[in-house]
Amino acid sequence: MPPPPPAPPRESSLELNEDDELVPTERPPLPERRPQPYISDLSKTTRNLTARQNDSRSGRAARSRSPQKGLASGPRLASVPEPETIHVLQQASIDVGSCALDRKQNYLTQDPRKAAEHKHKDESDDLSIILSHPRYLQLQSDLEDARLKCKKLDHDLFEKSAELAKRESELTERESELAEARKGWRKVAGELNKIRTKGQGFYQVTDQYLIDKTNTLRYNIRNFAIQYFEGETKGDVQIKATRFFELHIQPTTPGSTAYQEFFRSPKRCPSLIQGILWRVLYGTIFNQFEWAGRVGDHVYHLCKTLRPKEGSKDFRPDPQAERKFQTWSATTTGLLIDAVDLNEGGDAYEKLEKGKLLIRDTICEEIEPFTRHIDEGFRQEVLKILEDAIVLDKEICKQVARVIWVFEHGAFDPSSMILEGGEKPQKGNREVQLVVAPGLKKRGKSTGEDFKLENILLPTEVSCEPVQSPAGQGIIRWIFS
């Protein structure tokens, strides 16, 4: 049996002696003290004071009881203890609390097990209070929601990572395929360049071939003009000004009405007729795909849209753009020739024949009033000229090089012009009066190369000699509506 705990030590306190001095006194332990009632009558405390203190208090009481001026006497109030007494009471209360706290602390210190149990109990009580608090419960709920969100985000992140890895694998595979495709493209491009260099795959037309075909057409047109339009006029001519007049007659002598004197001149009229016929061929046959029948109209408008635009005389399109267009045009022409039935009896053939007859009739109607004589071969000759022009245009369209018809006025340029036969050169600045036959220029080669270079295949045939108004010839009058 463990020995009883030792008796708690006696406590010391301070009390007032007879000289109003605080002296230490011993007191029994707190459990042995007899409880004292609350001091309700503060006047009783004066009994415990010394005689000198009572005398002092009596003197102060007597002074306090003396009547004062302006104050009425009344019932006596309970006496108030002195400040020293209040201080003693306060100190006594502090001592009592301190003694109880010290005793509890000493007790817990002497028994560690009890102290641990007491501490654990206090902590358990505090924890229970915290766990049951509404704010704590709300935080617990928010924490659980945050955990669920984090779990969902982790799951989404895992799925996205897997998807990203899959996409990266596909991208790597596509890049590998692209690299292989580029290798194949380079190989094909190299082979294509070799084919172009060798001139394979495109229709080959030599410069001499074009020159010969054009000279043949010039010769036929010249013979036709001399045969039917050389000599004296048959009389006055009155003709309605049509669109044919605006497109093909007026432009032969731009800025003047010299075409009237050319029509009346016995020797110069054939030159004017040649110029008119060449302008008709240029506007209705060359680069018009007339040889392709009905399909030719659609191809013509497409080419007109896609062809690189020509600027001024000194401006030329980008060589690379022009090469691409000419290559496409030559390839399209080859496809048309293979796909369209140009033989007799086919749709394209019938359309071509009707088109030639329509152009022939229009030409004959416009120039027949100026003929010096006419026979059955007149219309047949015009039709033959149209057929030769269509064949020449087809040959030009099949090859890659750009062929340009040149109708150039202005000052005479010996490097690109020649005078028509029989006209003598004159000194000084000579102006072109009439383009008898257009020149022919070629840009690029039939192999699809050198579009930066431009060569003159045939010079422009012109007349610089002013036409004289002939006397005694008929009058020509156009009626404008």
Same domain for 140 and 121, yes or no, is no
- Of 43-47, 297-301, 316-320, 377-381, the poorest mean pLDDT is in 43-47
DSSP codes joined into one string, 420-475:
PTTPPP-SS-PBP-EEEE-EEEEES-TTS--TT-EEEEEPEEEE-SPPP--TTPPP
318 belongs to a structural domain: yes
Q: Mean pLDDT, to the nearest integer, of 360-369?
A: 94
Same domain for 151 and 223, yes or no, is no
- Tens-digit pLDDT profile for residues 424-447: 877 766 889 999 999 999 998 877
Same domain for 28 and 112, yes or no, is yes
286 belongs to a structural domain: yes
The amino acid sitting at 452 is: K
Provide the pLDDT for residue 107. Answer: 54
Provide the pLDDT for residue 56. Answer: 47
Cβ neighbours for 400, distance < 8 A, ≥ 6 positions apart:
202, 203, 323, 326, 327, 330, 444, 445, 446, 447, 448
2 belongs to a structural domain: no
**Of 226 and 117, the one with more pLDDT:** 226
- Report residue 405's pLDDT band, with 50, 70 and 90 as the boundaries: very high
**Looking at the predicted structure, is the pLDDT value of residue 239 above 90?**
no
279 belongs to a structural domain: yes
CA dist 440 and 393 (Å) reads 13
Domain boundary (198, 216, 236) is at: 198
Same domain for 113 and 138, yes or no, is no
72 belongs to a structural domain: no
Give the number of domains in the chain: 3
Same domain for 368 and 263, yes or no, is yes
58 belongs to a structural domain: no
75 belongs to a structural domain: no
What radius of gyration, in Å, describes the C-alpha atoms of the chain?
65
Domain boundary (170, 198, 226) is at: 198
Q: Mean pLDDT, to the nearest integer, of 313-330?
A: 84
Same domain for 214 and 176, yes or no, is no
Same domain for 249 and 335, yes or no, is yes
Same domain for 452 and 409, yes or no, is yes
Give, to the nearest 10 degrees, the angle between helix 269-284 and helix 207-229. 130
- Token couple for 316: 């030329």
- Report residue 358's pLDDT band, with 50, 70 and 90 as the boundaries: very high
Same domain for 334 and 469, yes or no, is yes
Torsion region of 28: left, alpha or beta (phi above 0 gives left; psi -120 to 50 gives alpha): beta
Q: Mean pLDDT, to the nearest integer, of 409-421?
A: 90
Domain boundary (177, 198, 219) is at: 198
Same domain for 256 and 141, yes or no, is no
DSSP alpha helix (H) spans, 230-372: 243-244, 258-264, 269-284, 294-306, 319-339, 347-367
Same domain for 264 and 347, yes or no, is yes
- State phi, psi for 239 to the nearest 5 degrees: -140, 145
Range of the domain at 89: 11-53+81-132
| Beta-strand pair 11-16/22-27 | antiparallel
Q: Mean pLDDT, to the nearest integer, of 82-104?
A: 55
- Closest by alpha carbon to 213, among 286, 273, 276, 307? 286
227 belongs to a structural domain: yes
Give percent of the chain with pLDDT exceeding 70: 71
- Report residue 382's pLDDT band, with 50, 70 and 90 as the boundaries: very high
Same domain for 219 and 248, yes or no, is yes
CA dist 252 and 57 (Å) reads 152
